[in-house]
Structure 1
């Protein structure tokens, strides 16, 4: 978090970490454009490899632009990796719909991880807080911090569950156009909506990073 103010509250930590995770508006754009390219190419040609090629080409341009501008390519390369894996899966099965299978499975796996973390009261978002303090699990000593992290983890979990609930039936029906549209709409628009809701939650509180006992002792 070099160049950014040192966070003093849990809300500030989570805001900074969420911003880094999505990569700002450029990260959102990098994640959205390949999906748009796939949808346009598929509806125009109904050819799997043309659509995949269009997505990869757009992603490569995004990587090249970031390299030229000396910006991080982390988010662009992550998207490229997912596209390559999806293309390999589809090439083995011959089904255009299988391009979306890795994404569906990833969302399902993340939903399970986030759900388990909430049930055990070790919400995933809590580890974002733990990453900036000397003791990674210190945040669990404060019930208020745990409650906040539970809410934010639930918000992210809802997004994963929604994606699987919408995309899995379309995949089983082999509706490639529907899958492309759903992936696009449930990608950056849903992420932006989630960030807006998270921001509202985060702006409502100022929870100190140190747990109550440590604040009194200090």
Structure 2
């Protein structure tokens, strides 16, 4: 086994020791690092700036989609993961479809507003029924997608973490939907950028702070057998 393999194995074993470590590990993968975060914002920036300068919808859409394609080409040339660029390309593609279909620049932002509203509703529902979305991150680490629900401490932690994912989505809808109704494209683009990756990073930062405070075991400690230290006496003993 090489040193790199040994380090990877050691890191993986540490990530499995506590819920907090497991979630931190998975969140770092989900963010895609600084590069993945920036790549998700570039198409929106290109579209918004072009619209503010030219008020040419087709040109603005072309620059937004073109910037995403260019980022994809760079990723392919470097033979690095294209997951985050593809997500960005898909998003700007849907936005372009909506805007070009109606001829209104503000409609480019409607899919994002609807997505955040639906995402927030789904996550709140998962918390209410005590199947918080973040819990499935634990399942992806342990290999059992539902075992985490047997540990009340894990369920509570995952509910709190899921709320931290809900709040940015709700804030985006509350701020952007009135701007959409007013047709304020410039402010919509500004709000989308400001409430995009900066808010997401802040949300993940809050999650990491919460995770750093606790050490919730991934597995429930086994109940001590009768006669072992710590065993509770049976009723009537």
- Give the TM-score, by structure 1 length: 0.94
Say if 2:16 is the partner of 1:16: no
Report how many residues are paired: 215
Cross-structure match for 2:120: 111
- Taking the aligned partners of 2:62 and 2:150, their CA distance within structure 1 comes to 50
- Taking the aligned partners of 2:178 and 2:221, their CA distance within structure 1 comes to 47
Q: Which runs of 4+ in 1 moved over 6 A?
A: none
Matches within 5 A, 1:91-102: 91-102=100-111
SS in 2 for 1:123: coil
Shift of 1:213: 3.5
SS in 1 for 2:190: helix
Cross-structure match for 1:177: 186
Residue pair 2:57, 2:103 contacting (<8 A) in 1 also:
no
For structure 1, the residue ranges without an aligned partner over 5 or more in a row are none
Cross-structure match for 2:152: 143
Cross-structure match for 2:47: 38
For structure 2, the residue ranges without an aligned partner over 5 or more in a row are 226-237
- Give the TM-score, by structure 2 length: 0.86
Say if 2:76 is the partner of 1:76: no
SS in 1 for 2:211: helix
Match of 1:154 among 159, 163, 168: 163
Shift of 1:69: 1.3
- Taking the aligned partners of 1:212 and 1:50, their CA distance within structure 2 comes to 60
What is the root-mean-square deviation of aligned Cα atoms in Å? Answer: 1.5
Greater Cα radius of gyration, structure 1 or 2:
2
- Taking the aligned partners of 1:130 and 1:161, their CA distance within structure 2 comes to 26
- Taking the aligned partners of 1:134 and 1:58, their CA distance within structure 2 comes to 38
Cross-structure match for 1:197: 206
- Taking the aligned partners of 2:48 and 2:103, their CA distance within structure 1 comes to 18
